[in-house]
Structure 1
Amino acid sequence: MDDPAIVGFRLRHVREERGMSQAALASGICSASAVSRWESGQCVPSDEIIVQLADRLALPAEVLTRRDFDSRLLTSGDGFGEVVEASFDTGRDTAGTSPMASWISRVRQVSRHADPWTSGPDPRPMVDDLAVDPLTVSVPVSVETVELLDAMVRVKETQDRETVDALADTLSWTVDAPEVIRRTALETVIAVLVGVGMPVAARGAAVRTGLPRITATTAALLTWDGSSDDGLPPVAADRSARDVAFDVLSRLRDMPGDDRQRVAALVAASCPGDGLVSLWAG
């Protein structure tokens, strides 16, 4: 039997994917409190209970226990993390049909579509699929990556203080997740908090999560009201189209009104489909 945290991680994601409550999963098998303990990683169910839970969830028991994982898919945890990071750095999906290439490609897609201000396919089915993939529980970087993506998707689904705080909390402990995904997640937290008039909370989140670098968009939003960038992490060298747009928008304060509106409209037009840029350019 694997680590209790791994079994709990998979059990929770499969149950939620099925739209099943803890009580419904437990009915006739065990108590709901037992399911809660297992999902929180306090302990693991017996082999007999695992089989019954898996049967109710309509999946092989091996999916919950990770006994189907082939360690030959990875050379090391560090190596996996480097491959994931490199995939984002190149800006291209990994080629090939290997389990690792497929996993990384899906992570990239979820990261793109989890953005609350962009349209596209619903990332929920894909992140739920990643949660039960054998590779997800291989090393800390993969477990934490999917946990972070799940928290990001929850913000897209319900953009409120609770989900944003949960995303910030997840950021504080998923230190093995690729930095590029962590920067994107923090950008979401900051954009929501600043957008609802909570710049102090936003700055606190940026400092608390401990990222070594932040996106140019995050920096622009945190200093939008004229606040100093003292105490903030440095801005990452790689920039997205959104980063460039926010860098321009943040420099428009001193322009005459008509000129500012004209340039802002051009900036928004340069990022079609980006609702965050359109919102701040308006």
Structure 2
Amino acid sequence: MEDPAAFGRRLHHARVDRGLSQTALAAGICSPSSVSRWEDGQSVPDVDIMEQLADRLGMNPTVLTGEGFDSRLTGSAEDFADLLDTVFAPQDGIGRRDTTRPAPSATSAWIDHARSALDRADPWSSAPDPRPTVDDLSVDPLTPSTPASLETVELLDAMVRVRETPDRATVDALTDTLTWVTDAPLIFRRTAVETVVAVLLCADMPVAARAAVDRVSPPDITTTTALLLTWGGSSPGGLPPTATSRRGRDVAFGVLAHLRDAPAEVRRSTATAVVASCPDDGLVARWAGSL
């Protein structure tokens, strides 16, 4: 069983997502005050109560307990979370994973879809719409099998909503999601935090961008996120550590950051080259244009 706080976050999200009040969820099962206590992370219900709550919420009880086992996966929820981190985390410094240890065949299609959706969820990407892929994942039988897979799809859905409508409401919803999807792979969470920060900064809301990072309190952030937050000197210290793995966007922003004090002619020519090296990245183009 997970700790009460983690259980409480899942229960609260599932209830709100289904439009149920605490009273409606509790009816015939327990008292509303019990639901409130569990959502606050004070305790967890007995197994039989847990199963009844999950049934009313229309979800697998193991998603609430974090103790799922599915022979089609890797043996346990923890193993599947580790598998996702292994597959999605860069292994050789340039984004390739170790192909000598392939993912189990039963999960390979799911993982390929999730990776594809992550690659296309960026609001500044010119890649095809990821919504159909995320919708397919939401009804995939593997998705509700473990907290890791369910939270990954929940996070992808929130990210795609920002891509579809990049405004304060969708960014706030993505930030809310980030506060509880702790079993989703770290690379997904890093990318989502970057999206939140970039959208808010593009809307000239640096204070809100820093507040979102403080609220989520991620274990680390991308190089791009760190550079964006410190670009104007508004968030000089106290940021989470910067991830050691770097993508093309991170390298591009590193170059752009060094150009700020360069002569105008150098800035223009180098910024043009940086944009050309990331032809499908609208965020790099936008920042280069501001130099």
Alignment TM-score, normalising by the size of structure 1: 0.75
Partner of 1:36: 19
Where does the alignment leave 5 or more consecutive residues of structure 2 unmatched? 1-9, 28-57, 62-67
Q: Corresponding residue for 2:257?
A: 250
Matched-pair identity in %: 53
1:164 aligned partner:
171
Amino acid in the other structure paired with 2:187? V
- Aligned residue for 1:54? none
Give secondary structure in 2 for the equivalent of 1:227. Answer: coil
Q: Does 1:187 align with 2:194?
A: yes
Are the equivalent residues in 2 in contact too, given 1:216–1:235 (CA < 8 A)? Answer: yes
Contact 1:106 1:126 in 2 (8 A): yes
Q: Distance in 2 between matches of 1:65 and 1:234?
A: 36
CA distance in 1, matches of 2:103, 2:232: 46
Unaligned segments of structure 1, at least 5 residues: 13-34, 45-63
Q: Is the 8 A contact 2:84 2:185 kept in 1?
A: yes
The amino acid across from 2:86 in the alignment is A
Q: SS of the residue aligned with 1:36?
A: coil
SS in 2 for 1:220: helix
**Shift of residue 121, structure 1, vs aligned partner:** 2.1
Instruction: Label 1:213 to 1:278 Cα distance change in 2 as closer, same or farther (>3 A).
Output: same
Do the aligned residues in 2 keep the contact of 1:85 with 1:178 (CA within 8 Å)? yes
How far is the alpha carbon of 1:70 from its aligned partner?
8.2
Native 8 Å contact 1:37 1:43 kept in 2: no
TM-score, normalised relative to structure 2:
0.73
* RMSD over equivalenced CA pairs, Å: 2.8
Query: Residue 216 and residue 132 in structure 1: after superposition, are their counterparts in 2 closer, same or farther (change >3 A)?
Result: same
Give the number of equivalent residue pairs.
234
Q: Which residue of 2 aligns with 1:87?
A: 87
Distance 2:216 2:113 in 1: 25
Deviation, structure 1 residue 227: 3.5
The residue aligned with 1:143 is: 150
What pairs up with 1:1-282 in 2 under 5 angstroms? 36-37=19-20, 42=25, 71-73=70-72, 74-89=74-89, 90=91, 91-92=95-96, 98-282=105-289
Q: Counterpart amino acid of 2:286?
A: L
TM-aligned CA distance change 1:86 to 1:97, over 3 Å: closer
> Following TM superposition, by how much is the alpha carbon of 1:176 offset from its aligned partner in structure 2, in angstroms?
1.2
Runs (4+) of structure 1 exceeding 6 A deviation are none
Give the aligned residue type for 1:88.
Answer: F
In the other structure, the counterpart of 1:49 is none
Distance across 1 between alignment mates of 2:235 and 2:108: 42
Q: Secondary structure at the match of 2:80?
A: helix
Go from structure 1 to structure 2 and tell me whether the alpha carbon gap of 1:250 and 1:105 turns closer, same or farther (over 3 Å shift).
Answer: same
Native 8 Å contact 2:83 2:103 kept in 1: no
- Alignment deviations for residues 130-151 of structure 1 (CA, whole Å, 9 cap, x no partner): 1121211111111111111000
Q: Mean alpha-carbon deviation: is it higher for 221-230 or for 106-115?
A: 221-230
Q: CA deviation at 1:96?
A: 7.0
